[in-house]
Structures are given as C-alpha cells and as structure tokens.
Structure 1
Amino acid sequence: MRRTRTFPVLAGSVLLATGAAILVPTAAQAAVACNESALVAAVTTANLAGGGNIVLSTGCTYTITTSHGSDADGPDALPVITTAVTLTGDNNTITRSTAPGTPAFRIVKVAAGGGLTVKGNVTLSHGSAATDGGGILNRGAVTLTASALTGNSATGRGGGLANADIAAPALGATATFTSSSVSGNNAGGRGGGIYNGLRGSLTTTSSSLVGANTSGAQGGGIAAVDSTATTLTSTQVSANGATAAGGIYRQNGTMTLTTSPVSGNTPNNCVTSSPAVPGCVG
C-alpha cells in the first residue's frame, strides 16, 4: 500500500513535486508616499475596504494644509475613521501646517464603530479644533503604542484626545495608551491633555502626561467626567496646569492609579475632584 506523506507549507513558500519547500519572501507592503494627498488617499482606501494597515514612509513628516473630513464635530485633517485602521510608522509626524492662513482642524476623528491604532513612534501634532479633541476626537476606539500627542488644542474639551460623551445604549468610547506621551496640549474646557467623557474608558500603561498640558477649566493633564473607568499604570502626570486640579480632575466614575505619581501640577494636583483621585495629594 502506497503511503501519502503530508508536508506543511510555510507562508511565502512554494512546494515542489519532490515535497521540498523553497522559501520565497512575500512582498512587503509598500509605504505611503511622503505627502498629504497620498496619506489621505490611503485612509480613504482603508475605510472603503472595511479597514486596513497603512505603512508610513520612514522618517516622513506628513504636513496637512487643509481639511479632508468634516461633519457636525467640525473639520479634520484626515478622512473620518469609520472602520479599523492602523497607522504603522517609523519615526513619523502627522501635523497640521503652521503656515499663516492654515485653517483650523483637528488631526483625526474616529466615528462610532471605527477604530484607530497608531504605533511605531508616530506623533500627531498641531491639531486645532473649535469643539472637542484637538488631536483626536474619539467616538469609537483608539490605541496609541509608542506614539505621542503633542501641541494640539481644542476650544472645547480634550486638547490632545477627547473620548466623547456618549449616552446609553450606545457603546462608550475607549482609548488605550501604551509607552506613549501626551504633552503641550491645550483645551479651553476640561482636560488639557485628555478628556475621558460620559461612559468612556481610558487605560494608560508606561506612559506620561508631563509638560504643559493646560486647561481653561479643570484637569490640566486628565479630566474624567462621568466616565466608566480611568486606569493609569506606571503613568506620570506632572507639570500641567488648569484653573483647578492641574493634574487630574475626577467627577464620578471609577478611577485606579497604580505606580502613577501625580505631582508638580498648577495650582494643585487634584483638588476639587469628587470623589477624590486615589493616591493623589495636593
């Protein structure tokens, strides 16, 4: 009786008649050309495809000069994220142009049901929103890994990122930061760095909100207002400013801080929070 032998075939390999497999490298995904129109087109294509991974050109700064997405929440540099989109970078910046005459717009909005993952040392900077979320306005899910929100501003809440207020029964917005930084952002309302709103969830790990995040109200670093959960692990919150609670402002909701010092904020760290921010003094 003739026996049949089965050979496993590796990804990117060709199986010869002899049963030997020759490894043939699979083609690497092409990086998006280093210009505004190419990045906008890539996001549009990913949305239409139901999601996708966008690889950014190594070391490229994508400077956005005009809005490419807009709705009731205001204009955005990139098309509104409506599916699961990943920006995979390699020392990149996506920034609103600082040239005179550049209109105001945030960097990106994530719609309900959409998801944005940013990884690989990507900085989102100089977004400017007339409402909430100068860098990112999130109504879906956002994940930042080894990336940064820097120098963004909002007339409303959440200079760097705003988890939008979302009433039941819709799902609340979620944001997850890992090994990422939030600095130099400003909000006219609560949450100079981050605003975690109604039914929102914020989780940070090995991250920082250090340096000149400012709020014209409460929560220079973070404001969590009627949110579901705010969980900080190994995350420093310092050198931020607000009218009160220059570090973290809490109004209701669950909050957990683990090895996450809140210090050196102006005019105080967490005063006026209700209930108090756990482990925060001053």
Structure 2
Amino acid sequence: MRSIPGVCALTLALTLGMVAVPNTAHAQTPVLCSETSLVNAINAANAAGGDTLALVPFCTYQLTSAHGSGPTGPVGLPPITTPITLLGMGVTIARDPSAPAFRVLQVQGAANVPGTKGELSAVGVTVRGGSAVSPFPGGGISNLGGTVSLLTSAVTGNTAVAGGGIYTDNGTVSLTASSVTGNTASSGGGIYVNSGGAVLLATSVTGNTPDNCAPSGSVTGCT
C-alpha cells in the first residue's frame, strides 16, 4: 500500500462522505440480520427502481445458497439491476463455506444486460468467501456493464478463474479507503479488468494470488 500524504484531511473527507452517501430525499430501508431479509430487500429495491438499504451494524449476512443467476453463473444475492446502496458498519456479506459455489454479488448494466442499470454503492461492507463457478470470473463481485463504488469496504477470501476479488467488463469500479486482499484466481487474483476501468484512492490491493491486478497496467497504482 502506498503512503498517501494528507491523511488527516483525507480521513475528514471520507467521514463527511460517509454521511453524504445515503440519498436524504428518501428514507432508508432497514434490513434485519438474516440472509432472507437481505435477499428480499434487494429484490424489492430492484423492483422499486433503487433504494438505500441500512444493514445491521456488525452483522454477518451468511449466504447458504444462490439466490440469483446471470450470464456468468450463480450469484449469492439477486443481481443488482438498479441503483442500490448497501449502508453498513462492520458488516460482512459472506458465502457459507459449506454452500455450493457461487459469487457473492453481481451488478448488471445496459452495456452487458439490456434493460438494466445496476449501480452498487457499498459503505462499511466486507465481501467474503465467494467462489465463482468455473469457467466464470468474479468471485466476490462481478460487474457486468454497471457501476461499483466501495467506501471503507473490503473484498477478501474470494476465488474465480479471473478476478478472484472483483471482475469488471464494460463497467467502472472505484474503491476509496478500502482493501482487496487474500483473493485467488488464475489471473487477476484481486481485480481483473476485461474492459472499462478501476480507480483506487487510498486503497490497498495486496496479498492476492497469483497477482493483484490484471492485465498488467490495467489499474493505476496496483502492482
């Protein structure tokens, strides 16, 4: 992880940013600390055209089965097809180690899936233990033509053929004060950019196997 000057100023800015993330024009929807509650909340948010989901602080949402599917295999949570914010504090969304293989999250946008406009914003959320079914990419998060923004979040312990942690195609990914660590793939253990782009700000992408980002040079600041 590179040393970033102005840490105090950045910390203040991020703190203010966390306050500003929810859309103040709409009430947040609380989500109980259970797999079923989170699945139902995402389905409802997609049907409503988007929502801010307030997750239970320090809850682990343990996924025991896939609740969605897409062009690249099963997904633990329903694919995100509208603008959805997952607002957490010390929250973990994890595939149960004994569950069948599936990635944790998938975002779908019109560039890849016509009729969708998926935008995921996650604050204070760890995505863990996803395992994309071979030969599909994106073990933790697969971004297919949408937008993914992570703030003070982590992607760890996920596996796939490519993009063990995060895979993006025809979409954009931005990570701020976050980490992508301990993920595994044949290429792009941490992040794989097939097309589109990924932007890192005060973010650590380290300890992924066999590499942190691929193709080489696709993510500025990732080595």
TM > 0.5 fold call: yes
Cα 1:117–1:30 shift into 2, 3 Å: closer
State how many pairs are aligned: 189
The aligned amino acid for 2:48 is A
- In structure 2, what is the Cα distance between the partners aligned to 1:173 and 1:59? 30
Q: TM-score, normalised by structure 1?
A: 0.64
From 126, 138, 159, the counterpart of 1:133: 138
1:149-164 equivalence runs, <5 A: 149-154=155-160, 156-164=161-169
Q: CA deviation at 1:201?
A: 1.1
- In structure 1, what is the Cα distance between the partners aligned to 2:33 and 2:156? 20
Q: CA deviation at 1:90?
A: 1.2
Deviation sequence 1:46-84 (CA, Å, 0-9, x none)? 000001101101110000000000122100010011000
- In structure 2, what is the Cα distance between the partners aligned to 1:95 and 1:185? 13
Cα 1:95–1:256 shift into 2, 3 Å: closer
Cα 1:29–1:109 shift into 2, 3 Å: closer
Task: Give the aligned CA root-mean-square deviation in angstroms.
Answer: 1.8
Deviation sequence 1:242-271 (CA, Å, 0-9, x none)? xxxxxxx23xx6x644xx7x4xxxxxxxxx
Deviation sequence 1:116-172 (CA, Å, 0-9, x none)? 0111x2100000002100001101110000000000000x210000012xxxxxxx2
- In structure 2, what is the Cα distance between the partners aligned to 1:148 and 1:93? 9
Which has the bigger relative contact order, CA under 8 A and spacing at least 6? 2
Residue 204 (structure 1) aligned with residue 200 (structure 2): yes
Deviation sequence 1:10-36 (CA, Å, 0-9, x none)? xxxxxxxxxxxxxxxxx9745211000
Identity %: 44
SS at match of 1:129: coil
The aligned amino acid for 2:214 is A
Structure with bigger helix share is 2
Q: Is the 8 A contact 2:164 2:190 kept in 1?
A: yes
1:75-90 equivalence runs, <5 A: 75-90=74-89
From 119, 144, 147, the counterpart of 2:153: 147
The aligned amino acid for 1:65 is T
Unaligned 5+ segments in structure 2 are 1-25, 110-116
Cα 1:29–1:181 shift into 2, 3 Å: same
1:111 is aligned to 108
- In structure 2, what is the Cα distance between the partners aligned to 1:122 and 1:38? 16
SS at match of 2:31: coil
SS at match of 1:214: coil
Unaligned 5+ segments in structure 1 are 1-26, 165-171, 225-248, 263-282
- In structure 2, what is the Cα distance between the partners aligned to 1:196 and 1:68? 25
- In structure 1, what is the Cα distance between the partners aligned to 2:220 and 2:108? 27
- In structure 2, what is the Cα distance between the partners aligned to 1:53 and 1:72? 26
Q: CA deviation at 1:110?
A: 0.5
Residue 177 (structure 1) aligned with residue 175 (structure 2): yes
Find the structure with the greater CA-based Rg.
1
- In structure 2, what is the Cα distance between the partners aligned to 1:98 and 1:256? 33
Q: Is the 8 A contact 2:199 2:220 kept in 1?
A: no
- In structure 2, what is the Cα distance between the partners aligned to 1:106 and 1:133? 7
1:1-282 equivalence runs, <5 A: 29=28, 31-99=30-98, 102-112=99-109, 113-119=117-123, 121-130=124-133, 131-139=136-144, 140-154=146-160, 156-164=161-169, 172-188=170-186, 190-198=187-195, 200-211=196-207, 213-215=208-210, 220-224=211-215, 249-250=216-217, 256-257=220-221, 262=223
SS at match of 1:47: helix
